[in-house]
Structure 1
Amino acid sequence: MDQRVLNKLVESVSNTVKSFKKCEIECLIRLFQNLVKTDGRIDKTGIDRNTFQEILHNIFGMTDDMLMNRVFCAFDKDNDNHINVKEWVKGLSVFLRGTFEEKLKFCFEVYYLNGDGYISQEEIFNMLKNSLYQQSSEEESDEAIQELVDLTLKKMDYDNDGKISFADFEKAVKEERLLLEVFGQCLPEAKVQFNIPNSWAEKCKGAQEVAQ
């Protein structure tokens, strides 16, 4: 990419993303360019779902396919099934260095799977079942999982309408921060460094192979 074009893009992105330094934004843009394998205009292309899930797995230690898919949707703001360069940097700014409030909104967006703004009993059931399956090879009975759903609603459904609104989620998490990822991992592992190291490119190798 021409350096002048790159500088212009970095400047544009830095106007909306304040948690990364300009040199870090440039690094993320270059990494994006490597992942989408283009020497042309990167504003006309994007990272596909499979490549992005490899990144979540290889760099951020995520293993839950269902939630990785939902994280992809949370990044993909224009719903075109590709993460463009601005969505890439903006999403990572929340993912890695977001404020507590930004991460709260992000996790809630990942968890309400059908896009209606509420986490339903059915969604809670499916996420808990999926999460428990990830943690153990033994499959929990539907009755045991339903008991967990009922306990979760009792703890988080403050208005007793049988589903969790953002207001419910926010209140519960502010009272007990461990509930932020109550339905499964949708943020990086704690051990992931919040800087942008050169080793990211190496860790993305698997994603690049998938993209080929």
Structure 2
Amino acid sequence: NCIYLYFLFTVKKNEVECLIRIFHSLVERADVRLDNIGLDRNAFQVIPHRIFGMTDDVLMNRVFFAFDKDNDNLINVKEWVKGLSVFLRGTFEEKLKFCFEVYYLNGDSYISREKIFDMLKNSLHQQSPEEETDEGVTELVDITLKNMDYDNDGKLSFEDFEKAVKEDRLLLEVFGPCLPEAKVQHQQAKNPSPSSFNTIHYSVPS
């Protein structure tokens, strides 16, 4: 019941119940620790890949840790419902905070120059594996910081990121896609039922 109340204003009660059923179905098919039931990285990454078409393994690893709030390397049912509520019905503010968390990932709440470099290099590699160079990526980092680092401290705070994204919403996923595409998100949000997740059921190791 506390889970239902916690997410009442984001996801409807019947949708929460459905997500919980899906969670337990996935756990039953995955090889998890009996002392702390949840989805590990391998089991979890099937969902963004198969259902939401998100295939960047580097970013999906970061998404996993953004879901995993207690840092135990497993996504429990509360983390599962909360994370998917942002995926399926999140407000712009929730998505903004989620993306920033994915990008700074277990750091000091800043996106450093080094992290920007790594993420942009990975993003470019996904698009054109043979064309990116360190020099070209460094130039993009400089351009990014020039346009987003409002306090000129050489890194991006949440305040920097929020201001830049609110001025240009296309910057929301500037360092790589970490949210489902709008059309896929809309489709799943309309019907987050077990049948809509059936493709997962056969993909999780048993």
In the other structure, the counterpart of 2:125 is 133
Equivalent residue runs for 1:36-115 within 5 Å? 36-37=27-28, 44-115=36-107
Letter in 2 for 1:13: I
Cα distance in 2 for residues equivalent to 1:43 and 1:22: 28
How far 1:197 moved relative to its partner? 3.3
Is the CA contact 1:104–1:180 (under 8 Å) kept in the aligned structure 2?
A: yes
Correspondence 1:23-38 to 2 at 5 A? 23-37=14-28
Q: How many residues align?
A: 197
Range 72-81 or range 133-142, more displaced = 133-142
Q: For the residues of structure 1 that align with 2:96 and 2:102, how far apart are their CA atoms?
A: 10
Q: Compute the displacement of 1:138 (Å).
A: 1.8
Relative to structure 1, the CA distance from residue 19 to residue 113 in structure 2 (aligned partners, 3 Å threshold; closer, same or farther) is closer
Over the matched positions of the two proteins, sequence identity in percent amounts to 70
**2:171 alignment partner, SS class:** helix
Alignment partners' CA distance in 1, 2:161 and 2:126: 23
Deviation at 1:113, TM superposition (A): 3.1
1:54–1:206 CA contact under 8 A, matched in 2: no
In structure 2, the residue matched to 1:13 is: 3
Write the letter of the residue equivalent to 1:14: Y
More moved, 16-25 vs 181-190: 16-25
1:139 and 1:35 mapped to 2: Cα distance? 39
Q: How does 1:158-169 map to 2 (within 5 A)?
A: 158-169=150-161
Question: Structure 1-normalised TM-score?
Answer: 0.88
CA-CA distance at 1:201 after TM superposition: 2.9
Q: Could you say what the CA RMSD is over the residues aligned between the two structures, in angstroms?
A: 1.7
Superposition pairs for residues 116-127 of structure 1, below 5 Å?
Answer: 116-127=108-119
Partner of 1:173: 165
Q: CA deviation at 1:206?
A: 4.5
2:18 match: secondary structure: helix
Q: Give the residue type in structure 2 aligned to 1:73.
A: F
Q: Structure 1 67/97 Cα, relative in aligned 2: closer, same or farther at 3 Å?
A: same
The residue type equivalent to 2:16 in the other structure is I
Superposition deviation, residue 60 in structure 1: 1.0
What does residue 197 of structure 1 align with?
193
Quote the Cα distance in structure 2 between the aligned partners of 1:43 and 1:102.
Answer: 32
Cα deviation code 1:59-94 (max 9, x no counterpart): 111111111011111111111100001110011111
* SS class of match (2:156): coil
1:104-142 Cα offsets, whole Å, 9 max, x none, are 110000000342100011101110010011112323111
| Matched letter for residue 43 of structure 2 | T
Q: Which runs of 5+ in 1 are unaligned?
A: 1-10
